[in-house]
Structure formats: C-alpha cells, structure tokens
Amino acid sequence: MLSRRQFIKLAGSSAGLLVSACQNNLSKPGVRAKVVIIGGGFGGATAAKMIKSLDPSIQVTLIEPKSHYITCPASNWVLADLININSLSISYKALANNYDINLIHQLVTGIDPVKRLVTLNNQQKIPYDRLIVSPGIDFRWDAIDGHNESSTDLIPHAWKAGSQTTLLKNQLHAMTDGGTVIICAPPNPFRCPPGPYERASMIAYYLKQYKPKSKIIILDQKSHFSKQGLFIEGWKKHYGYGTAQSLIEWHSIADNPIIKIDVKNKVVETDFGDKFKADVLNYIPVQKAGHIAQTALLSDDSGWCPVSHQSSESTLHPYIHVIGDSSIHSPIPKSAFAANAEAKSCAFAIVKRLNNEEPIEPTWINTCYSLITPTHGISIAMVYKLNAEGLITQVKGAGGVTQKTDKQSLALEAGYAKKWFSSITSDSFA
Ligand SMILES: Cc1cc2nc3c(=O)[nH]c(=O)nc-3n(C[C@H](O)[C@H](O)[C@H](O)COP(=O)(O)OP(=O)(O)OC[C@H]3O[C@@H](n4cnc5c(N)ncnc54)[C@H](O)[C@@H]3O)c2cc1C
C-alpha cells in the first residue's frame, strides 16, 4: 500500500506529466488549443468573446441549446409592463460571427474529465484542452412537499426568464382587484439577491395603477435581504409600506420555513402550520448549480461548485473551470455582472496558461441595480480582490449602496439601471 507521502509524490508527478504532455501537444506547429464552453448565458458568452479577443488562435466552441438567450435582468420590468419580453431576447449570431466562435446548438449530456471530452444530446463528442462550465442554476425540486417541476405550469417561479415570466405576467393581469399575490423568496445562496424585492416593487407598481385593492405578501426564508433599507424606504414612499393600506407586506419566515405547497389551491404551509392562500403564487424554489455541473460531479455537498478563485478551475476536476451562478465565488453574489466578471478573469487565466505565461492577479466588480418605480432606482456595488490565502475579499472603501435619496438622484439611478442593462448585454453578447 502507498503511504500518503508516496501517493502525493506520485500524484504530483503524474499531474506534472499530464500538464507537460498537454503543453507539448499544443506547442506543436499548427496545433490550436481547444477551449469548449458549456452554456451561452452571461458567463459562457462573455468567456467565449474574451478568449477570442485575447488570443484569436485559440479554437473556441460555445455549446448552448437555445438559438436565442432571454435575459433575466430586466425581466421583472416586464411584469410592470415597462418593456416587452421580446426585447430581452438576444441572438447568438453577432457573437459567433464577430469573434469566429464555433457555435453548437445542443445540450451537453456528459463530461469525461479524463479523456477531456464532452458528449452532446446527439451523441457527438467534442474534445477540449480546457473546458468552461457556465450552466446557471437548477432548482431543488425535492425541497418541499407537494411541489415539483410540473407545478410551475400553475405557480410560475419566473426565475429563468421566458415563458415563465409571461405566465406570471398573464396571471397578474387575470387577477381581480383585491387579490393576493404571494412571493416566496428563497434562502441563500440564490441567483440575484435583490431580485425578489425588485419583483415585488414592479408588481406593486402595476397593481397600484390597475388593481389598487390588492396586496403582495413576501414570505422570506431569510431574516435580512439585499438593499433592505433602500427597498423599505422606497416602498414607504410609493406603496404605503407599514400602513394598513400597504400594497406590500414583508414577513421573515427564517425560523418557520415553508414545508408544503397545495399547488391546485395555491396554499403555502409553513413548519408551524401557518397557511397562506394566494390568488397568484410566485414560489421561487431553493437553488443549486446547473444540472450538468451536478451530473459531472463538479458540485460539492452545498450543491454549488468549488473553484480556485485565481483561475475558476474546479477543485474537483482539473482542466475544467466553473463560472457564473453555478460556481462558488463567495462573497461575490450570483449575478449577471458577476458572471461577466468571473468569465473575464477565467479567460485571462486560461489564455495565460495555454501560452505558458505567468497568471495575473484577478479582481472583480459587481453592481446590481433595482427599480422601485420607473423613476426610482437603487443600487449596490462592490470591488473584490484575492487575499494572501487565495480567498476573495471586498476591497475596503470601494462600493456601497445608493447614498443620495432625493428625487433627482433616484431618477438618475433608474436611468443608470436601464443603461447598465444595454451595456452588460452588449459587453457579453455583441
Ligand atoms: C428576475 C431576475 C432578475 C435579475 N436581475 C439581474 C440584474 O439586474 N443584474 C444582474 O447582474 N443579474 C441579475 N439577475 C441574475 C442573472 O440573470 C444571473 O446571475 C446570470 O444569468 C448568471 O449567468 P450564468 O452564465 O451563470 O447563467 P445563465 O445566464 O442562466 O446561462 C446559463 C446557460 O447555460 C445553458 N445550459 C444549461 N445547461 C446546459 C447544458 N447541459 N448544455 C449546454 N448549455 C446549457 C442554458 O441554456 C443557459 O443559456 C437576475 C435574475 C433574475 C431571476
């Protein structure tokens, strides 16, 4: 039997052999490095564009089943009728043509980390030197009784934009004045921490105009939420928060979690037996890394994928990098801005390695805007860097939340929110 010391020595030397074999192969004239990317969301699309921008000689293949990407950012605005869902749809054509990216519209069904191959739905196998996995989120369908994937035909989560967003909007339109909308906000960590509260604001904006006798109840599986002070201030200003006539009520049920849903009757039941009946129920399920990240064993017991923060390389499988919502880049939140920033630092790390160059020290920025009304915007921003232990830390003195709350400044923030959406989508997909 090998001692631990002998094992580490052997493992270290074979890893070294693998690396040099790979480098030798790639350094042969005419052999182009192959980077394959799973998922054409904010993470995957940005990574594809960035790698080709940094080194056009690298062959980049982006695998995404859908012909058009529908953005989650701004999808809450659809619920308030501020924009049409079609305006959130982005074609991959410009990205593929402008950057010479090989685009394959298929679902990846398997990853072989030893042979370094991905398998597609049509059984085709695609080899890689480096693989980037950015499949977004999946839901924990087994988290509560009575609820599963088919329940979303009646109670939309709308946490992946598209037909679910339209279904939720249609239900709000069909609801009679005086109805109750329940939003069940998930426990941490989850995609877009301010998202459920921007959603409540946008629904309130719609109800205030067309169904003012109605109410939104947020049942929150947390005791605090992102930009809480700013949201509550905005809700007081516009939606009577804290009064008997308030359009929005927020209740923390952190100690009394949801255990059951009666999907047909739209009734939510908590651990202590409290029951809440909705006319429109928006249960946002507990989340985990995208399905392919789970089946490829890139996730740990938390359900998310651990990575080296320097390069986003998986700590469970070498040559595979995980970015975006699926990855653990905590304390960076799970957002489109963060996925875009992680894609850039990952692209730099991969290009440097493929060219046998020294890595660079990554930094990341995240900003999340939310609308409370079309002319009342709020934001949170932060800058992150690596510390000496290789962990991500916040840069002291950088970032923060909206400071100026006069009417003009909040209107400016609302304008920035709309401009941010245009710039992040063009930075990632155009
Ligand atoms: C309501 C709402 C509002 C939001 N607002 C904001 C905001 O204002 N600002 C912000 O920064 N963020 C916002 N977000 C968060 C943002 O949408 C996500 O954080 C971001 O999309 C994550 O990018 P990603 O690349 O990790 O995943 P995604 O964007 O979800 O992309 C994943 C892609 O992978 C593909 N895929 C999955 N599995 C496979 C497979 N097996 N094979 C091939 N392809 C696969 C999917 O089809 C998908 O296109 C919001 C989210 C929601 C729900």
Strand order in the sheet with 267-270: 258-262, 267-270, 275-277
Q: What is the DSSP string of 151-167?
A: GGGTS----SSSHHHHH
Of 50, 119, 335, the residue with max ligand 1 atoms within 8 A of its CB, to mutate for a pocket test, comes to 335
Taking CA atoms only, the protein residue closest to ligand 1 atom 52 is 72
> How many helices (DSSP H) and strands (DSSP E) are in the chain?
10, 25
Residues 6+ apart with CB under 8 A from 83: 74, 77
Q: How many CB atoms lie within 10 A of CB 6?
A: 10
Out of 36, 38, 42, 413, mutate this one to test ligand 1's pocket (max ligand atoms within 8 Å of CB): namely 42
Pairwise CA distance, residues 396 & 381, whole Å: 12
Which tens digit of pLDDT belongs to each residue from 299-357?
999 999 999 999 999 999 999 999 999 999 999 999 999 999 999 999 999 999 999 99
Is any atom of ligand 1 closer than 6 Å to the C-beta of 292? yes
Q: Are strands 275-277 and 280-283 parallel, antiparallel or unpaired?
A: unpaired
* Ligand 1 centre distance from Cα of residue 136 (Å): 5
**How much helix, strand and coil, in percent to the nearest 5, is found in the chain?**
35, 25, 40
Q: What's the confidence (pLDDT) of residue 51?
A: 98
> Is the distance from the beta carbon of residue 335 to the nearest atom of ligand 1 less than 6 Å?
yes
Report the percent of the chain where pLDDT is more than 90.
92
Model confidence over 6-50: pLDDT tens digits?
333 333 333 333 333 344 445 555 679 999 999 999 999 999 999
> How, if at all, do strands 320-322 and 258-262 pair?
unpaired
**Which residue is associated with the tokens 């012909």?**
67
Mean pLDDT of the chain: 93
Element (H, E) at 275: strand 275-277
Strands of 279-342, DSSP E: 280-283, 287-289, 305-306, 320-322, 327-328
Q: 63 C-alpha to center of ligand 1: Å?
A: 15
Banded pLDDT at 3 (limits 50, 70, 90)? very low
CA 39 to chain centre: 12
Q: Tell me phi and psi for residue 78, to 5 degrees.
A: -65, -35
Q: How far apart are CA 21 and CA 349, in angstroms?
A: 19
- CB-based contact 270:280 (threshold 8 Å): no
Q: Give tens-digit pLDDT for 355-406.
A: 999 988 999 999 999 999 999 999 999 999 999 998 999 999 999 999 999 9
Whose CA is closest to atom 23 on ligand 1?
Answer: 42
317 with 18: CB under 8 angstroms? Answer: no
16: region left, alpha or beta (phi > 0 left; psi from -120 to 50 alpha)? alpha
pLDDT at 21: 35
Which ranges of 216-335 would DSSP assign to H, the alpha helix? 228-239, 291-295
Tokens of 91: 């074609």
Closest CA to 154 of 164, 145, 162, 144: 164
In this prediction, residue 189 carries a pLDDT of 97
